[in-house]
Structure 1
């Protein structure tokens, strides 16, 4: 009988790729990663995980590769830890008649303007928004909505290209940058202009039609939105949790999303919870680990179970408070050294992870790529957990030396 295998499309350099490999093995599966460049993912080599170089931008190439692998293995599922591969995963699952997300619905949801139109038609609370393709139209839209505004690509991930613009000069400057060729577009250049919804940030974690819980979070100082910390479950009243959960399920109905993981971002404004974005995927690292630390629910394992057609189990095994702190450098240069100084020994710390190595160039861009590591902790109470995280972060040190001057 051929060995059961699961296909993982691309991977992730900051944690979830390895977590998917480990979860697949725990379920008795043979993980096979298809990647345009498998050497990008150190864990594939470290874990002696099978990886095949293939053009993951070509559906035909991946169908051919999976068909070949099907002669040796029993391919029982296809999934990915990479946010950018959700549509491709759906198309492969559809082709091979495997459980998976509807690629058309996923692609529609990934278009942030279309997503907002559908949510607006369903009467859901949203920031005011406009779509534009040039500097003049963006400026007109910003004036109509009222400054400050968020200016961002209509398709994208990781807060790349997202900026708060407080005046029309900043609007013109950022729009010019996005259209100058320096920004890498996921699709044809279209710019979304949004009202700046001000208030605490929340993230609803959902599997299928079940809201597992709501995470609270915070980002760094404007004009960018680099996620800095999270706490799960969020410090909300029962009524507030119920309101966010109700709006979350209404979002799923409006977008016809009913398969697999979804995470929905909110800001709690004077109007209550306002939908910022619906993502038809698991939240990025370290959010799934927070859910596991707090409730004992391993979302990655349950996602793989769903992808191979098995029953999942979202039963909470315990209840405590988990928190994350993301490490962000305060200057550019070359990473000289980084050390945890026994932060991992602090009672209650679950993980200290660095995403970078010595001699890595550090260039801050104001998005997810700025992060250089994280600290995770859990305890019975929010205050205790926050204190544990802070104690661990205070122990971590790094040094970034200036870039060499030209000619050196």
Structure 2
């Protein structure tokens, strides 16, 4: 046998995929990426990551590749940072007798209708919902639930295909589009069912859970309707203690109700008055660079924890700092282009000059056409900040994002995003001065130890 291997079945295209491989190597375990198209992940070639090309959607072909690897080395663990392959990774880990979540629980969790039924049956609050397979059924469901409604695929990630519909005509149009799709954005077969659910207008949060322990609550920024593009995160969320406690209790109850409890879960919720309602539970680490924000603000490395858990190694979640961290994603509201190389570089330099900035990056090449984001794939870049408080980090992220937007031609403000206020009001997408005023109030609350 030659060393120990951590098998990574596919990856997310942004976020923690690269970090999974890096943390495995740091633990003395060789990461191996199994993928139908390793070239989909540029970091694999850039980092010299060992890859195996295999049809990961074909269980027999995948198992054959795994057995071949197992004949030459010890398999220490199996993971996936891709929403679409977490159940596959759990199944392979179980066949090998390795640690991991219950595959059946992960599979049920990934179906949004099955998930909501399990949660509602356990008394965990969720939005009103109906699963449908025909356009007429979607229209009827929307009429029963009351407009506006959210229409979305029963499986998916990154807000792909999720849309707020304000009229029955919009419901029919979007339902027709979703039901006509035969494959999703990963080229995998798309379910022929969709979900129609009540629209909740309260503030949106996520709770990052490991096992049955809530690690941190995150304030989420979502762009303007009708789409639901996540445009930023702040943590720890500035919240009154009773609301924070209600969110974390609801998130842990959801994880238990779904039969999860191994490793990480990313629970998305909205406050409906004083009642948290679960939007969805993802049986995996959060995307959107949230694990990196947790590491910066709390000193807890969720990626390392997940890798070590998969390999059967001891895991620690001890917090070693009490700071704040934020991320803002660059999006635009109208079509345009990124500027020439010198303008792009200048914008990056200026963004990185903000004292609290720890990362600033653009995902597109100079002079690339850009347009409004419909889902996570429309985000153009990001800035990450770490500060003495949540408000300080958020303020710095706003400033750095404005500087990064200088890469656009003509120069423009990034899409307006309303940071969370210290109350339960919904985002109203006002101007930059209003956003900064709200963050000043958050900062005062931090200093007064109200949150």
Scaled by the length of structure 1, the TM-score of the pair is 0.94
**Match in the other structure for 1:404:** none
Task: Report deviation, 1:387.
Answer: 2.1
* Cα displacement string for residues 25-84 of structure 1 (whole angstroms, at most 9, x for unaligned residues): 111111111111111211111111111111111121121112111222221011112111
- Relative to structure 2, which stretch is displaced further, 336-345 or 246-255? 336-345
The alignment status of 1:235 with 2:208, answered yes or no, reads no
- Relative to structure 2, which stretch is displaced further, 358-367 or 120-129? 358-367
Q: Is the alpha carbon distance of 1:285 and 1:336 closer, same or farther for their aligned partners in structure 2, counting shifts above 3 Å?
A: same
**Aligned-partner SS, 1:266:** strand
Task: Report deviation, 1:180.
Answer: 2.9
Match of 1:269 among 268, 272, 287: 272
**Match in the other structure for 2:351:** 343
- After TM superposition, list the pairs within 5 Å mapping 1:5-404 onto structure 2: 5-181=5-181, 184=184, 186-332=189-335, 335-337=338-340, 338-339=344-345, 340-358=348-366, 360=368, 362=370, 364=372, 366-396=374-404, 397-399=406-408
Contact preservation (8 Å) 2:183, 2:190: no
Contact preservation (8 Å) 1:333, 1:400: yes
Q: Is the alpha carbon distance of 1:226 and 1:186 closer, same or farther for their aligned partners in structure 2, counting shifts above 3 Å?
A: farther
Task: Report deviation, 1:361.
Answer: 5.5
**Aligned-partner SS, 1:71:** helix
Q: Is the alpha carbon distance of 1:105 and 1:186 closer, same or farther for their aligned partners in structure 2, counting shifts above 3 Å?
A: farther
RMSD between aligned residues: 1.8
Q: Is the alpha carbon distance of 1:96 and 1:24 closer, same or farther for their aligned partners in structure 2, counting shifts above 3 Å?
A: same
Q: Unpaired segments of 5 or more residues in structure 2?
A: 411-451
What is the alpha-carbon distance in structure 2 between the residues aligned to residue 348 and residue 236 of structure 1? 22
Contact preservation (8 Å) 1:161, 1:183: no
Task: Report deviation, 1:244.
Answer: 1.1
What is the alpha-carbon distance in structure 1 between the residues aligned to residue 196 and residue 15 of structure 2? 32
**Aligned-partner SS, 1:234:** coil
What is the alpha-carbon distance in structure 1 between the residues aligned to residue 5 and residue 178 of structure 2? 41
Q: What is the total number of aligned residue pairs between the two structures?
A: 401
What is the alpha-carbon distance in structure 1 between the residues aligned to residue 104 and residue 182 of structure 2? 29
Contact preservation (8 Å) 2:298, 2:319: yes
* Cα displacement string for residues 370-398 of structure 1 (whole angstroms, at most 9, x for unaligned residues): 11211110111233212211221122122
Q: Is the alpha carbon distance of 1:286 and 1:125 closer, same or farther for their aligned partners in structure 2, counting shifts above 3 Å?
A: same
